[in-house]
Amino acid sequence: MTSSKTKYTKLIKAYAKDLGFMSCGISKADFLEEEALSLEKWLNQNHHGEMSYMANHFDKRLDPRILVPGAKSVVSLLLNYYTDQIQEDSKAPKISKYAFGRDYHAVIKDKLKTFMTYIHSEIGEVDGRVFVDSAPVMDKAWAAKSGLGWVGKNTNLISKKTGSFFFIAELIIDLELDYDAPATDHCGNCTACIDACPTEALIAPYQIDGSKCVSYLTIELKNQIPLEFKGKTDQWAFGCDVCQTVCPWNRFSTQNQEPAFNPSKELLYLTKKDWEEMTKEVFETLFKNSAVKRTKYEGIKRNIKFISS
């Protein structure tokens, strides 16, 4: 006879698929021992730059049972955002594919709330919280633990089936489930990401100096971009896709099935001149529900000025 644990596991994985998630893996909510050492070392080397929040809630970041009292399972979910659509003007400032459409936080949060409602209706009194890149959760570590991929040399989660153009989200719940085995590493001898990184932020395989990463420089950094990076940011005005684009596993990326992530023609057709002359009003209208709003108008103008002057 199927145990209730197995029954609930199957139920959760099937519903994840119904909601449009490309993968679902489950791991036991426990202390992340290996990650504790590497996170401490990374912080001590100041590789988080001005991202001071990375040093906050150290214990919660490493143990979901502190973050969500009574937690027994971490349900990791992947949502594809890949698109083969590109910006028309090759000389225009570039933005990451993940920011082409509607802000993923809102899109995924809606799905996760629906997910929890479903769990309550089908399973009963289950307590927990949902997360999408908005709390001290080591999402890549949990996704790797639950077999959804491995953390590659570019420090992104990579899947053999689908590459790495996806968002990671979690349900941390007080329900015991069947747990998946971790995935194995398939980077092999490849160093494409390290060789291609425009600012040499990938200082060694599986190690990133976040303070040199173009995504950090164009989004997280609030001060002026250091002059040492002049001419090295490869026209990126928001984020950077280089280490993913060159990854051989991304030849398996497929078009996302989420209409909210589709870019507007208006965005794709912006010319270099359009970007440089963009007014605050145009910015606010074009990026009203976009992740790009995170930099604010002043941030985008700073980034454009840095890459074009």
Which positions are annotated as active-site residues?
A: 133
Buried b / exposed e over 11-50, threshold 16 CB at 10 Å, is ebbebbeebebbbbbbbebeebeebbeebeebeeeebbbe
| Under 8 Å between Cβ of 23 and 77 | yes
| Both tokens assigned to 67 | 């973050």
Which residue has tokens 């050492």?
37
Beta-carbon contacts of 132 under 8 Å, excluding residues fewer than 6 positions away, are 104, 105, 108, 109, 112, 167, 169, 170
| Residue 294, number of CB atoms within 10 A of its CB | 16
Q: How far apart, in whole angstroms, are the C-alpha atoms of residue 221 and residue 233?
A: 14
Helix (H), strand (E) at residue 293: none
SS3 273: helix
Q: How far apart, in whole angstroms, are the C-alpha atoms of residue 85 and residue 173?
A: 37
200 dihedral zone (left: phi>0; alpha: psi -120 to 50; beta):
left
**Strand bridging mode 94-95 / 236-238:** parallel
| Both tokens assigned to 281 | 């009003």
Q: How far apart, in whole angstroms, are the C-alpha atoms of residue 228 and residue 198?
A: 12
| Under 8 Å between Cβ of 132 and 112 | yes
